[in-house]
Chains A and B, each alone.
Chain A
Amino acid sequence: MGNDNLWHEFLRWVGEGWRRVASRVGWVRETTGFFRVDPHTAVTFRAIADAVVPETPGLEAELGPEHVPGGLAVGLDDFHVAYVDDGFQFGLPHVGFVGNAPLADPVAHVLDLAARELVRRGENESALSDDRPVALVDLGEAPPPEVRAAAGPFAKLSRRDRLRAMAILDEFEVELSPSADELFELDAGLVGQLVVGFAEMIYYSEWQGYDEFDRAPSERDHPNDPAAVQSWRQTGFPGFANGYAALRGYLGTPDGSLGDGESWTTIDDGTGSPVRIVHESGSFRENDYDTSGYEEPYPE
């Protein structure tokens, strides 16, 4: 399958996803069991979380035990599916929950296409394995045969090969060519943003600390404590504060207008003209200006 074919396959899946979306009048997500979303989608999003923010036993000796658990330990995959499904709305009240477009299923299938393309090119470092998706699901959640049946090629790749597959999506800089018979087309770049960028933002933000993020904003509770947010323990972020007594002063120069008063510190630039951080602020200078000597570094 060449690039063109991959692209056509991609569009076919997106179109398929949208047709399914459009047909689900009053679509409501099931709320019980591991497979409360499409099993293939559930396994694929586990594989995403496992690749983007993995469990890292190797970091224990280097950084400490708090750096071992990853996204799966805090249910990143579950929330990621919900977030991708609820994240965008197209103003079509008959589509999805209050018009939000459930994108998780098409995204999961697009990742499989990318995985197949990676394998076709021979760029995967190790062979597909059924054991990988099975290892992502506890026995009590779903029996291995069900997981194997549900898993697509993306979930069967090694962690690093999954990232390689995601990178393939970046190759498709798409000129949108809308047609009247498709509800919408999604470009591959958005998939990369949804599965990598959004997963990282969610994981490293305060998200894990909410009692329930699905609640109305005025009813959400957050303890603002690293004890409640695994990623804060890993980054050292102390939580949100009302303020810090962290003022060192203002940038000042000898005889200049910017800052004044007692020096906090001196920055020596090596030319004998030290810049100082001083206690009191001055102001910028309303200078005369002359642009006649301006030259374009890169004329165009």
Chain B
Amino acid sequence: MVKDSYDVVVVGAGGDGPVAAWKLAEAGLSVLVLEAGPFHGNEQWPNPHEDPGGEASSSVEDLSGELLDEQFTTREFEMVNELLFGPADHDRGFWFRKFPGDGAILQCAGVGGTTLHYTGCHPRAYPASIDEQGHWPIDYADLLPYYREVEAMCDVSPAPVTAKEELFFRGAAAAGWDPIEDLNVTDPGYRPQPNAIRQPDAKLHVDADYDGDFTYPDVEGDTLALGDIAGNPHPRGAPFEEKAKRASNVSFVPPALATGNVTVRPNAFVTDVETETGGTDRPTATGVRFRDTWSGDTETVAADVVVLAAGAIETPRLWKNADLPANDWVGRGLTIHFGDNVMGLWDADDLEDAIGKRTIDQHQGQDIAARFDYPGLGMLQTVGTAPGIGAILGFGASASGFAFQNDPEDAPWDTMGRLAGTELKRLLSGYRRMLQVLVVSDDRPHQRNGVSVNPALADEHGPIPLVNYEPSTGDRQRRDDLAEIAAEILREAGASHVHRSDSPPTALHVHSTMRMGEVVDEACEAIDVDRLFVADHSVLSNSVGGVNPTNTGQALAARTAETVVDRYF
């Protein structure tokens, strides 16, 4: 049962909230975590998208790998629809958020948040993005102990090589880049992803002639079956805590519940932060109001400290809807790693020469297991997808119309733009000889970009987030340089056809809308509200150099939790 008051209420059980909850609970505090979406793999909610189920979960005994296996079918279309940001009730559509152009925000609702469909990539920020770009009030060195703690909790290790990673590494080496072995990256080069996915069983080596089942306990760790974007419950049959992908529901929620001090209440959308002012104008957070997404009932809960961890879109929305003090940077400075897709297609004979077989088979291995780093520009990542997600990410959207309307002339790609019709079918007939590279640029915080609200545009939880994003000239240049490097690597790896999407701005990684140094102080407590902390990617002062932000967000959340204890308990 949910009580009337706790030491700390954490708003959001996404990638970062459970980290803060775990640390606070380890320190002996009572913690309530409120999550807008469902709780998968929990016996309190055997059918989380069909029935309201239980009220809350406070025991690690509630976690069930068997239920997670049932609910995470790995079927891409079904899982995208279940995980993307919307109410648990499968009859109801996504929560609509206004985003410019034909881009979109890809976020999940549910315990685990967007780590439910993230690909486990857990690199650290580029040190220069913290120490040299002028956005951060703290040093990279301040983050190091927390990186180490998070990496240990998430089993971060070098990602395994399958055919598609070998092909990419060959291309990167042939293009003249060096391999990187460092955790703290300062120079360009290629390396395996530091992935929060347990490494595969050695039995799965191509030389080992394995012909057994790919289920636990026959195999432990990752099973190289793709599926991270669709939730990845592998290895099937494993207990909840033994799933290979260390999304926050697997890495941090179990130890948090095991403390006995944490209650997680899903299907609870926080709509207000309650404050009081004791003789001054300066408010102090005293609790939150939330709405049950199944019943529509609202409740309030009191807390000595409130930690916002609703993500870089919803946290500023909540701040604005809660009528907390105005600040020029609340909701502003949004970075999304302004990205693109560059795809290579190979002839079977060329693949035979390069990797010893006539198909790449992007559906095998981990989704994202090889990367290219370039501090100052951003990164590239190979991406394996099932065909539906691959089609929408790689070919379904473009800022430059359809491919047949563009003549790339001397560009390093053969075609650019949206693909449809005969061209789409012809290209996707080569799905198994195709490899996409995701371009992720180090976009910079600009005040024009961010989240606003308007009272005229509201849903059941108040005015919805209206997102604006327009990259700067520098952002575009960084992305263009990376796209050219991607094309060169694919060519050097032997691709016969290279296609660039010229993707519209799409928010896969979302950060820096409640920036440290502007909205929150160096400890991530709100500058204008006492006892109100932020522990999600919104406090990142910039886009951490264009690397996957989960590790940095979680490291900061761990650091923030320690400060909460130091300051108020």
Tell me if A296 is interfacial: C-beta within 8 Å of chain B.
yes
The answer for the CA separation of A164 and B477 in the assembled complex, in Å, is 28
Contact with A along B444-468 (1 / 0, CB 8 A): 1000000000101111110000100
Report yes or no: B418 in contact with A196, Cβ–Cβ below 8 A: yes
Report B-chain residues with C-beta under 8 Å of the C-beta of A243.
Answer: 204, 214-215, 219, 223-225, 234-235
Q: Residue among A56, A197, A204 with the most chain B CB within 10 A?
A: A204
Which of B401, B426, B458 makes the CB contact (< 8 A) with A170? B401
Decide yes or no whether B37 CB sits under 8 A from chain A: no
- The reply to whether A283 and B157 contact each other, CB–CB distance below 8 Å, is yes
B279 interfacial by beta-carbon distance below 8 Å = no
Q: Is the CB of B132 within 8 A of A294?
A: yes
Interface residues of B in 55-110 (CB under 8 A from A): 70-71, 73-78, 80, 82, 86-87, 89-96, 98, 100-104
A297 touches B481 (CB 8 A): yes
Give Cα distance in the complex from A90 to B95, angstroms. Answer: 6
Q: Tell me, yes or no, whether A52 is within 8 Å of chain B by CB.
A: yes
Q: Which residues of B contact A54 (CB under 8 A)?
A: 421-422, 425
Q: Is the CB of A88 within 8 A of B96?
A: yes
A245 contacts B210, C-beta separation under 8 Å: yes
Contact B158 A242 (CB under 8 A): no
- Asked whether B339 is an interface residue with its Cβ less than 8 Å from the other chain, the reply is no
Query: How many angstroms from the CA of A270 to the CA of B170 in the assembled complex?
Result: 11
Whether B131 pairs with A101 at a CB distance below 8 angstroms is no
Q: Judging by beta carbons under 8 Å apart, are A249 and B160 in contact?
A: yes
Partner of A258, one of B87, B192, B424: B192
The minimal Cβ–Cβ distance linking B35 to chain A, given in whole angstroms, is 18
* B17 contacts the other chain (CB 8 A): no
Contacts of A249 in B (CB 8 A): 160-161, 205
Interface of B is mostly: loop
Q: Are B100 and A163 neighbours in the complex by a CB distance under 8 Å?
A: no
- In the complex, what residues of A have CB within 8 A of residue B473's CB? 298, 300
Instruction: Return chain A residues, CB-CB under 8 Å to B214.
Output: 241-244
CB-based contact B204/A246 at 8 Å? yes
Q: Are B163's CB and A246's CB within 8 A?
A: yes
- Verify B421–A163 contact, CB threshold 8 A: yes
Q: Mark A83-103, 1 if CB is under 8 A from B, else 0.
A: 000111111100001111100
B 163-183 binary contact with A (CB < 8 Å = 1; else 0): 101100110011010010111
* Set A63, A238, A257, A269: member contacting B426, Cβ < 8 A: A63
Q: CB < 8 Å: which of A163, A189, A220, A285 contacts B78?
A: A220
Instruction: Count chain B residues whose beta carbon lies closer than 8 angstroms to a beta carbon of A.
Output: 131
Q: Is B375 an interface residue (CB 8 A)?
A: yes
Q: Which of B246-254, B382-390, B509-517 contacts A (4 or more CB under 8 A)?
A: B382-390
Report whether A92 and B205 are in contact in the complex, using a CB–CB cutoff of 8 Å.
no
Residue with the highest number of chain A CB atoms closer than 10 Å, among B50, B176, B213, B397: B397
Establish whether residues B92 and A287, one from each chain, have CB atoms under 8 Å apart when the complex forms.
Answer: no
Q: Determine if B424 and A52 form an interchain contact, defined as CB atoms under 8 angstroms apart.
A: yes
Chain B residues near A284: list those with CB within 8 A. 158, 181-183, 191, 194
The docked-state distance in angstroms from the alpha carbon of A99 to that of B223 is: 40
Provide the bound-state CA to CA distance between A196 and B398, in Å. 10
Closest beta carbon of chain B to A281's beta carbon, Å: 6
CB neighbors of B among A104-119 (8 A): none
Chain A residues lying within 8 Å of B210, measured Cβ to Cβ, are 245
Contacts of A246 in B (CB 8 A): 162-163, 204, 206, 224, 361, 364-365
Q: Does A268 contact B (CB under 8 A)?
A: yes
Q: Which of B349-365 contact A (CB under 8 A)?
A: 356, 359, 361, 363-365
Stretch from A3-11, A29-37, A128-136, A174-182 contacting the other chain = A174-182
When the two chains form the complex, which single residue of A97, A205, A282 contacts B158, counting CB atoms closer than 8 Å? A282
In chain A, what residue has the closest Cβ to B293?
A: A91
Do A257 and B181 touch (CB < 8 A)?
yes
CB closest residue in chain B, given A179: B456
A234 x B429 contact (CB < 8 A): yes
Inter-chain contact A216/B215, CB cutoff 8 Å: no
**Is the pair B206, A67 in contact by a Cβ cutoff of 8 Å?**
no
A86–B192 touching, CB < 8 Å: no
B391 at the interface (CB under 8 A from A): yes
Q: A59-B426, A284-B183, A290-B186 are in contact. Are A242 and B98 (CB under 8 A)?
A: no
Task: Kindly provide the distance from the CB of B211 to the nearest chain A CB, expressed in whole angstroms.
Answer: 8
| Chain A 180-229 interface residues, beta-carbon cutoff 8 Å to B | 180, 182, 184, 187, 189-190, 192-193, 196-198, 200-207, 213, 216-218, 220, 222, 224
A296 with B429: CB separation less than 8 A: no
Chain A residues near B200: list those with CB within 8 A.
247
Contact A200 B102 (CB under 8 A): no
B156 CB to closest chain A CB (Å) equals 8
Residues of chain A within 8 A (CB-CB) of B444 are 300
Given known A206-B388, A207-B77, A235-B431, contact A167–B235 (CB-CB < 8 A) = no
Could you pull out 17 A-B pairs where Cβ atoms are within 8 angstroms?
A87-B94, A88-B93, A173-B101, A174-B100, A201-B389, A203-B391, A217-B90, A222-B73, A237-B363, A242-B223, A243-B235, A245-B224, A277-B161, A282-B158, A284-B182, A285-B182, A297-B377
Residues of chain B whose beta carbon lies under 8 Å from any beta carbon of chain A: 47, 49-50, 70-71, 73-78, 80, 82, 86-87, 89-96, 98, 100-104, 127-128, 131-133, 140, 157-158, 160-163, 165-166, 169-170, 173-174, 176, 179, 181-184, 186, 191-192, 194, 199-200, 202-210, 213-215, 219, 223-225, 227, 234-236, 356, 359, 361, 363-365, 375-377, 386-392, 395-399, 401-402, 404-405, 418, 420-422, 424-426, 428-429, 431-432, 444, 454, 456-461, 466, 472-474, 477-478, 481, 504
Ranked 8 nearest A-B pairs via Cβ = A243-B214, A205-B388, A91-B460, A243-B223, A197-B396, A91-B459, A269-B173, A205-B77
Known A245-B203, A245-B204; further 17 A-B contacts with Cβ < 8 A: A90-B459, A164-B405, A189-B103, A196-B396, A198-B396, A205-B77, A205-B386, A222-B78, A235-B431, A244-B224, A245-B210, A246-B204, A247-B206, A267-B166, A283-B158, A291-B132, A298-B478
